Amino acid sequence: MSDHNDPNDNSTGHEWDGIRELNNPPPKWWAWGFYLGLTFVTLYYIIYPSTPLNNGFQKVINGVTGMEVLVDGHSKGIMAMVNSNPYYKGETWTQAEIDGFKAKGHAELSIKAGDLKYQDGWTAINEMRDDVADIEAVRAGYIEKLAGMSAQQIIADDEMRNFALGRARVLFGDNCAACHGSGGQGTLNKAHPGNSFPNLTDDDWLYGGWTDKIAETITEGREAEMPAKGGNDELTDANVDSLAQFVVALSEGSAALNDDGNLTRGASTFASANVLFQETCAACHSASGKGSLIGSADSYGGAANLTDSIWRFGGDMKTVRDTIANGRKGTMPSFAEKLDETSIKILAVRIHQFGGGMNSDPTE
Ligand code: HEC
Ligand code: HEC
């Protein structure tokens, strides 16, 4: 031990194996850091919600039991007092809700209509909620405006169209992209042609590509039915083969039909196939093979155009033969339950603006 009575010795008197502990003041930088830290903590405590405290406890009704309970609280900080809760747009109790609880036997409630359901002053979360509410308020204005506009009016108005397209992009991603692809390009599933989904970005339409018709497709859904052998059981395998060759030839251009169903090209090769086609297939695909979309608006049954080399299920001989022999049943689900009218309208605008939209019903 050192001699601790020596006034010039600034040792604490602790010594281990010759190492003495001195009583020097801490370095200045450290002391400043310490005092700044203390100041920060104190100011933070005063300004922001921080410490769990009784004064923050608050009466609320427990929605399950109907009992009045105290909920956890915390010091609110002068942010809350100075601003008297500008950030919290909390819900308040309505008389009907309180009466509901009283009717269930909780007569002792001291909460009155208009009391905040839960109030906790300024918190980062409440500030965020407030920002979100501001954004929602702006959006709500736009959405209300969209509701009153027709799809054509939306397309013609730059500002509203841009807003609608942005919103519809999200709706499309959430509801449609799984089948139609993120950009609406569809999919051709070579291994399982029945699991193919149509391209919505081209100008080839099964049901019609003007906005009202697209909205109808989304609202009601579509159930297409290409019956096996076109519904004609008398077709032989050889008939199916020659029809498959004929259909592929119509797309490739080595055969062509006029609107009356007469061959204008390939007459020598496909005369007998065309007889079968006109008997069995023309009822749905039309005499020219151009599909049901050229008929009246009421008869759009989704029967594809067989002359345009755009294939819903695949245009190789094997797949076409399989389509004719076994039929196809494409189902577009209905979104009437899932999406409101305005959402469907702006989705129709988005699909129309993918590029292949028609301006109006071509048969009108
Ligand atoms: C009752 C109406 C109906 C008849 C009759 C009919 N089809 Fe179809 N066909 C359809 C419909 C609807 C589709 C679309 C099916 C779908 O999208 O699921 C279709 C699709 C097709 C396709 C697929 C086209 C593609 O893009 O992949 C081919 C090929 C086809 N039909 C050929 C024929 C042939 C050949 C006949 C005559 C033997 C025939 N169809 C008779 C309604 C019919
Ligand atoms: C479960 C898969 C699936 C989902 C999800 C789906 N679709 Fe479809 N959609 C289809 C199929 C299959 C068809 C083709 C029906 C047929 O074979 O005739 C189709 C057809 C369409 C057509 C008609 C195209 C034409 O050529 O006339 C439109 C438009 C369309 N879908 C839009 C949408 C929109 C918008 C959504 C999202 C709200 C959506 N689809 C969601 C499967 C789906």
Q: Which domains does the chain have, with CATH numbers?
A: 11-47 (no CATH), 54-130 (no CATH), 174-353 (1.10.760.10)
Say which ligand is closest to the CA of 346.
2
C-beta of 244 in contact with ligand 1 (< 6 A):
no
Gap between the Cα atoms of 184 and 347, Å rounded: 11
Please name the residue ranges forming H helices in 48-91. 77-83
The residue to mutate among 229, 240, 284, having the most atoms of ligand 1 within 8 angstroms of its beta carbon, is: 284
Q: Which residue has the tokens 């002053």?
A: 121
Q: Whose CA is nearest to atom 18 of ligand 2?
A: 224
C-beta of 218 in contact with ligand 2 (< 6 A):
yes
Q: Whose CA is nearest to atom 40 of ligand 2?
A: 176
Closest CA to 310 of 225, 184, 214, 201: 201
Judged against a pLDDT cut of 50, whether residue 267 lies above it is answered with: yes
Comparing 46-60, 89-103, 303-317, the range with the smallest average pLDDT is 46-60
- 310 to 16, 117, 161, 199, 209: CA distances (angstroms): 92, 59, 29, 10, 15
Judged against a pLDDT cut of 50, whether residue 87 lies above it is answered with: no
pTM over 0.75: no
Distance (angstroms) between ligand 1 centre and the Cα of 324 equals: 7
pLDDT tens across 313-332, in order?
A: 999 999 999 999 999 999 99
Please name the residue ranges forming H helices in 123-199. 124-147, 151-156, 158-175, 177-180
Gap between the Cα atoms of 250 and 285, Å rounded: 12
Q: Whose CA is nearest to atom 12 of ligand 1?
A: 303
Q: Which residue has the higher pLDDT, 124 or 42?
A: 42
The residue to mutate among 170, 172, 180, 350, having the most atoms of ligand 2 within 8 angstroms of its beta carbon, is: 180
